[in-house]
């Protein structure tokens, strides 16, 4: 092999460039796309990428959040603020509305609403006629995602069939769909948690405060740190401890646990991410622990 | 700022390298990938604990690193790998994306898929078995899909007593074959993925091998697909016309958005717009609304041109000195990807860069038996078949030879009724 002579992009520039290309393909190929935006770190990266892809124009899609009604207020406030700063349209659809319509029925009051987001998402897709949803999922998050396409085809029930995915070659993405079907597009498929934090640092992206170290009441339950909130109160006999923590992933309160951390700046989080010994979901997602295949199962049912 | 952080941001960034591993589980492919992830410290404690638990459950005495690449439930049930998986690791200086392609014959399409985005292929050979039919098949496909650098990893050296004679024999046999199919840049390395010799650490049992370790070879491999100077090619993805803006300066703004698929571009360069053939100059190269002056290969940017020319998605902006061929008939190597065979009677969508045209097969010159490399006659193609054929197009595309330019020499065929991607093509003329 010859020595490296030709100028090439740095790894972050390459990832950014790939993501911009994917977003523009969605905009070029799909008549009615939407970008799923939760206020979490991955979707905040998507917004910066969309700015780089489409400014000085407006985004060729609205933003949408499927709200379980069990999200941290710091995050939903941040979501609204960021959408307003960008001047882009934000649609919020709520799992609670699906519950009121009777399309989401919880097994019991305490059941997590997280997996039921799929129902509300499909209802919103139908309501607006979206034929592509841009999301911030990454292949490094979970093994059911390692084989996910960048443009992933879902049938009219929103189902992901791992045996029936379109081959994806070169950078020739096939985002065609028939009415009722849709494409899930993942521009940051090839990013790792570390890439996301390095990008946040480089782009100086603002984040919701709960990503940074803070003191929070916690109980230990089944080996996991469970934050004590109105929705997730301490159970009888559990000891509440004030702990210095931060969130590595942010989602429904009932299934997101924080990690012990004193990292209060993005720089410190980058260092912590480089030296951590626990995977992102392993430490913090209570819903992935159910079985070896729980993410795969949820994805088949229409989950992001 | 702490020293750890200084270290992270000040180290040299050698970009991103995409490589492909070919071989079956029997060759130790999963173990090799597991070893790369493990030795580069990408595997975190909870994942390791999980595979330790599974290893113990299966009665193994050591941790089985191949479990790290254990796939989907559907695959575990059938005991096979059905799809390409992508894995990530970083050495601190370079980020790697591994495309892990299953080795079985029926999965030719998976290897072609994985190879299409890779710049390096690692072809695994079991030292006990030497060069097999499968090895030849993988090598032929690597050549076909234009992977510029091949690393032949002679694995399981621990099972042949680290014998140099065995290794030398395999090197000689493979070299002869590589020459036959025209693979020019081939590196060889003896290793044991199981024990960890010559992956990241040299180990102590391969003293006779003085070349670099596998990770050293990967660190030194060029990140660019080719070292040659390439012609500028810019397929237009999207046109930005923010007329409704309250900023009067933007009223006449027409930005052509896309990615530099090959070559480079700077302000003032003379460009030609296809298909209409008009020539103009680049007024600005922008990213995020800012002028950046120039853009290189693989960079996504927005181009502004000096003259007002009608340009839309599917058009291509190219260097005026090196204009590609506009053609309605192409000669191509095709890998069929679909369970539904190719039908010469049907019309397909052909997607080439950002351009989509209708296409029909005019004739099939020959099908290639990828095991023997023999050419035979064919009137249709089944899944995993590879053939040279002629396609007729309803509108012209702006084509380069695949060997000259991968992004503007490649195309896919899409079934009009199912919208499935059914064929992968490489233009040969």
- In chain B, how many domains are there? 3
Q: Is A222 buried (19+), middle (13-18) or exposed (0-12) by CB count in 10 A?
A: exposed
* Together in a domain, B140 and B40: yes
Residue B256 has pLDDT above 60, yes or no: yes
Helices (H) and strands (E) counted in chain A, each on its own, are: 9, 10
Higher pLDDT, A231 or B282: B282
Q: Looking at B148-276, which runs of residues are DSSP E strands?
A: 149-155, 186-190, 233-240, 255-259, 265-266, 270-274
Q: Residue A142: its pLDDT value, please?
A: 74
Residue B351 backbone phi and psi in degrees, to 5: -105, 120
Chain A partners within 8 Å of B427 (Cβ): none
Residue A83 has pLDDT above 80, yes or no: yes
**Domain stop point among B291, B319, B347:** B319
* Together in a domain, B422 and B333: yes
CA proximity to B80, closest of B109, B103, B108, B111: B103
Q: Looking at chain A, which runs of residues are DSSP E strands?
A: 33-36, 63-67, 90-94, 132-134, 151-154, 182-185, 214-221, 224-227, 241-246, 259-260
Label residue B13 by pLDDT band (50, 70, 90).
Answer: confident
What is the mean pLDDT of the segment spanning A195-207? 96
Mutate to test the interface with B, among A20, A21, A166, A169 (most CBs of B within 10 A): A169
Q: Tell me the nearest-neighbour CA distance from B138 into chain A, angstroms.
A: 17
What is the mean pLDDT of the segment spanning B276-281? 96
User: Dihedral of CA B278/B280/B282/B287: which sign?
Assistant: negative
What is the mean pLDDT of the segment spanning B176-188? 94
Mutate to test the interface with A, among B38, B48, B237 (most CBs of A within 10 A): B237
Instruction: Classify B422 as helix, strand or coil.
Output: strand
Chain A partners within 8 Å of B83 (Cβ): 147, 162, 165
Q: What residues form DSSP beta bridges with B308?
A: none
Q: Residue B334: its pLDDT value, please?
A: 97
User: Dihedral of CA B46/A281/A104/A109: which sign?
Assistant: positive
* Together in a domain, B381 and B306: no
Report the alpha-carbon distance of residue B32 to residue B45 in Å, rounded: 19
Residue corresponding to tokens 């003293």: B207
Higher pLDDT, B60 or B35: B35
Closest residue of A to B94, CA-based? A11
By Cβ distance, the residue of B5, B238, B297 closest to A28 is B238
* Together in a domain, B296 and B260: yes
Higher pLDDT, B103 or A291: B103
Residue B11 has pLDDT above 70, yes or no: no
Has residue B102 been placed in a domain? yes
Residue A289 has pLDDT above 50, yes or no: no
Closest residue of A to B299, CA-based? A17
Higher pLDDT, A164 or A235: A235
Report the alpha-carbon distance of residue A4 to residue A166 in Å, rounded: 34
Lowest mean pLDDT among A150-159, A283-292, B139-148: A283-292
Do β-strands A90-94 and A63-67 pair in parallel, antiparallel, or remain unpaired?
parallel
Chain A partners within 8 Å of B85 (Cβ): 146-147
Whether residue B412 and residue A4 make contact (CB cut-off 8 A), yes or no, is no
Has residue B225 been placed in a domain? no
Report the alpha-carbon distance of residue B408 to residue B325 in Å, rounded: 11
Report the alpha-carbon distance of residue B208 to residue B199 in Å, rounded: 16
Report the alpha-carbon distance of residue B305 to residue B402 in Å, rounded: 28
Whether residue B109 and residue A167 make contact (CB cut-off 8 A), yes or no, is yes
Residues B313-351 pLDDT 10s: 999 999 999 999 999 999 999 999 999 999 999 999 999
Spatial CB neighbours of B232, under 8 Å, sequence gap ≥ 6: B260, B262, B263, B264, B265, B269, B271, B317, B318, B319, B322
What is the mean pLDDT of the segment spanning B167-180? 96
- ipTM value of the model? 0.92
* Together in a domain, B53 and B157: yes
CATH number of the domain encompassing residue B277: 2.40.30.10
What's the fold here for domain A11-194+293-300? Rossmann fold (3.40.50)
**Domain stop point among B266, B290, B319:** B319
By Cβ distance, the residue of B83, B223, B238 closest to A27 is B238
CA proximity to A34, closest of A76, A65, A2, A64: A64
By Cβ distance, the residue of B71, B288, B410 closest to A172 is B410
DSSP symbol at B340:
S
By Cβ distance, the residue of B73, B85, B242 closest to A58 is B242
Label residue B355 by pLDDT band (50, 70, 90).
Answer: very high
Lowest mean pLDDT among A72-81, B8-17, B28-37, B275-284: B8-17
Report the alpha-carbon distance of residue B379 to residue B401 in Å, rounded: 25
Report the alpha-carbon distance of residue A38 to residue A40 in Å, rounded: 5
What is the mean pLDDT of the segment spanning A11-38? 97
Is the link from the previous residue into A56 a cis peptide, with omega within 30 of 0?
yes
Residues B57-101 pLDDT 10s: 766 666 666 666 655 555 555 555 567 888 898 887 899 999 988
Higher pLDDT, A79 or A253: A79
Has residue B227 been placed in a domain? no
**Domain stop point among B267, B295, B319:** B319
Whether residue A28 and residue B296 make contact (CB cut-off 8 A), yes or no, is no
Instruction: Classify A63 as helix, strand or coil.
Output: strand
Label residue A3 by pLDDT band (50, 70, 90).
Answer: very low
Share of chain A above pLDDT 90, in %: 61
Cα A45 from chain centroid (whole Å):
10
Size of interface A-B (CB pairs under 8 A): 211
* Together in a domain, B129 and B56: yes
By Cβ distance, the residue of A16, A54, A167 closest to B240 is A54
Report the alpha-carbon distance of residue B46 to residue A250 in Å, rounded: 20
Cα R_g (chain B), whole angstroms:
24
Lowest mean pLDDT among A74-78, A102-106, B66-70, B402-406: B66-70
What is the mean pLDDT of the segment spanning A81-103? 93
Residues A216-250 pLDDT 10s: 999 998 888 899 998 889 999 999 999 999 998 88
Chain B partners within 8 Å of A7 (Cβ): 296
Has residue B383 been placed in a domain? yes
Q: What residues form DSSP beta bridges with B22?
A: B123
Tell me what the pLDDT averaged over chain B comes to.
88
Chain A partners within 8 Å of B230 (Cβ): none
Q: Tell me the nearest-neighbour CA distance from B104 into chain A, angstroms.
A: 16
DSSP symbol at B374:
-
Report the alpha-carbon distance of residue B151 to residue B149 in Å, rounded: 7
Share of chain A above pLDDT 70, in %: 89
Report the alpha-carbon distance of residue B73 to residue A292 in Å, rounded: 8
Q: Tell me the nearest-neighbour CA distance from A269 into chain B, angstroms.
A: 10
Residues B221-254 pLDDT 10s: 988 777 777 899 999 999 999 876 677 778 889 9
Chain B partners within 8 Å of A137 (Cβ): none
Residue B118 has pLDDT above 60, yes or no: yes
Residue B8 has pLDDT above 70, yes or no: no
Q: Residue B2: its pLDDT value, please?
A: 40
Report the alpha-carbon distance of residue B33 to residue B53 in Å, rounded: 19
Has residue B195 been placed in a domain? yes
Lowest mean pLDDT among A85-99, A114-128, B90-104, B337-351: B90-104
CA proximity to A97, closest of A83, A113, A78, A80: A113
Spatial CB neighbours of B285, under 8 Å, sequence gap ≥ 6: B265, B266, B267, B291, B292, B293, B294, B295, B301, B302, B303, B304
Whether residue B73 and residue A292 make contact (CB cut-off 8 A), yes or no, is yes
Q: Which residues of B151-185 are buried (b: 16+ CB within 10 A; e: fewer)?
A: bbbbbbbbebebeeebbeebbeebeebbeeeebee
| Cβ proximity of A283 and B50 under 8 Å | no
* Together in a domain, B203 and B126: yes
Q: Which domain holds residue B347?
A: 325-427
Residues B386-412 pLDDT 10s: 999 999 999 999 999 999 999 999 999
Q: Residue B408: its pLDDT value, please?
A: 95
Residue B7 has pLDDT above 70, yes or no: no
Listed in order, the ranges of chain A carrying CATH 3.40.50.620 are 11-194+293-300
Largest CA distance in chain A: 67
Spatial CB neighbours of B103, under 8 Å, sequence gap ≥ 6: B22, B23, B24, B25, B27, B29, B134, B138
Where does B43-147 have alpha helices with state H? 45-57, 73-78, 108-115, 133-144
Higher pLDDT, A223 or A96: A96
Chain A partners within 8 Å of B421 (Cβ): 166-169, 174
Q: Residue B125: its pLDDT value, please?
A: 94
* Together in a domain, B133 and B196: yes
Whether residue B73 and residue A14 make contact (CB cut-off 8 A), yes or no, is no
| Cβ proximity of A79 and A65 under 8 Å | yes
Residue A37 has pLDDT above 90, yes or no: yes
Q: Residue B4: its pLDDT value, please?
A: 43
Has residue B228 been placed in a domain? no
Residue B336 backbone phi and psi in degrees, to 5: -85, 130
Mutate to test the interface with B, among A57, A177, A199 (most CBs of B within 10 A): A57
Residue A8 has pLDDT above 90, yes or no: no
Chain A partners within 8 Å of B407 (Cβ): 170-171
* Together in a domain, B213 and B303: no
Residue A278: Cβ within 10 Å count: 15
Token digits for B416?
């009009």
């Amino acid at each position: 092999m010859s020595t490296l002579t030709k100028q090439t992009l740095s790894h972050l520039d390459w990832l950014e460039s790939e993501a911009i290309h994917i977003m523009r393909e969605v905009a070029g190929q799909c008549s009615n796309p939407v970008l799923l935006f939760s206020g979490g770190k991955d979707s905040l990266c998507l917004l910066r990428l969309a700015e780089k892809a489409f400014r000085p124009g407006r985004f060729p899609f609205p933003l949408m959040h499927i709200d379980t009604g069990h999200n941290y207020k710091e995050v939903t406030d941040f979501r609204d603020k960021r959408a307003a700063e960008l001047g882009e349209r934000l649609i919020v659809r709520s799992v609670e509305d699906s519950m009121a319509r009777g399309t989401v029925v919880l097994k019991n009051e305490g059941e997590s609403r997280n997996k039921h987001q799929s129902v509300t998402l499909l209802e919103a897709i139908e309501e607006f006629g979206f034929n592509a949803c841009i999301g911030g999922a990454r292949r490094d998050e979970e093994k059911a995602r390692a084989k996910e396409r960048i443009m992933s085809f879902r049938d009219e029930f929103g189902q992901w069939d791992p045996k029936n995915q379109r081959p994806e070659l070169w950078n020739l993405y096939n985002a065609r769909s028939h009415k009722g079907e849709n494409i899930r597009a993942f521009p940051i498929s090839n990013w790792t948690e570390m890439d996301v934090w390095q990008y946040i640092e480089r782009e100086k992206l603002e984040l919701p405060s709960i990503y940074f170290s803070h003191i929070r009441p916690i109980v230990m339950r089944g080996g996991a740190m469970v934050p004590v909130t109105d929705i997730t109160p301490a159970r009888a006999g559990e000891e509440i401890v004030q702990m210095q923590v931060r969130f590595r992933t942010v989602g429904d309160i009932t299934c997101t646990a924080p990690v012990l951390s004193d990292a209060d700046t993005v720089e410190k989080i980058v260092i912590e991410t480089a030296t951590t010994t626990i995977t992102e979901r392993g430490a913090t997602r209570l819903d992935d622990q159910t079985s070896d295949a729980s993410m795969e199962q949820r994805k088949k049912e229409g989950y992001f | 700022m702490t020293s750890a952080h200084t270290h992270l941001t000040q180290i040299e960034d050698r970009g991103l390298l995409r490589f492909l591993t070919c071989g079956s589980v029997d060759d130790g492919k999963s173990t090799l990938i597991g070893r790369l992830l493990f030795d580069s410290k990408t595997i975190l404690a909870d994942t390791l604990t999980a595979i330790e638990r599974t290893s113990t459950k299966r009665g193994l005495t050591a941790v089985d690193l191949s479990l790290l690449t254990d796939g989907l439930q559907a695959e575990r049930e059938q005991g096979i790998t059905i799809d390409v998986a992508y894995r990530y690791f970083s050495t601190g200086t370079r980020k790697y994306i591994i495309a892990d392609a299953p080795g079985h014959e029926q999965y030719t399409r998976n290897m072609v898929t994985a190879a299409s985005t890779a710049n390096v292929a690692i072809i695994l050979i079991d030292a006990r078995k030497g060069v097999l039919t499968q090895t030849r098949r993988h090598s032929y496909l690597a050549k076909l899909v234009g992977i510029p650098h091949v690393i032949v990893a002679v694995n399981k050296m621990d099972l042949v007593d680290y014998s140099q004679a065995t290794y030398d024999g395999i090197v000689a046999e493979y070299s002869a074959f590589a020459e036959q199919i025209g693979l020019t840049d081939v590196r060889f390395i003896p290793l044991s993925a199981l024990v960890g010799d010559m992956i990241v650490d040299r180990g102590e049992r391969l003293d006779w091998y003085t070349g670099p370790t596998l990770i050293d070879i990967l660190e030194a491999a060029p990140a660019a697909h080719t070292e040659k100077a390439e012609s500028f090619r810019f397929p237009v993805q999207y046109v930005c016309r923010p007329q409704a803006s309250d900023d009067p300066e933007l009223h006449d703004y027409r930005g052509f958005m896309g990615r530099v698929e090959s070559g480079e571009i700077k302000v003032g360069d003379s460009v030609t717009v296809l298909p209409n053939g008009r020539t103009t100059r680049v007024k600005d190269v922008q990213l995020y609304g800012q002028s950046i002056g120039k853009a290189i290969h693989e960079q996504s940017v927005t181009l502004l041109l000096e003259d007002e020319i009608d340009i839309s998605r599917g058009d291509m902006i190219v260097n005026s000195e090196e204009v590609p061929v506009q053609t309605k008939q192409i000669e191509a190597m095709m890998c069929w990807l679909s369970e539904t065979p190719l039908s010469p009677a049907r019309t397909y969508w052909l997607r080439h860069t950002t351009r989509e045209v209708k296409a029909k097969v005019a004739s099939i010159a020959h099908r290639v038996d990828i095991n023997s490399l023999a050419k035979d006659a064919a009137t249709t193609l089944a899944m995993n078949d590879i053939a040279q054929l002629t396609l007729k197009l309803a509108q012209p595309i702006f084509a380069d030879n695949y060997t000259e330019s991968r992004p503007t020499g490649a195309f896919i065929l899409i079934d009009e009724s199912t919208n499935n991607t059914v064929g992968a093509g490489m233009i040969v003329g």
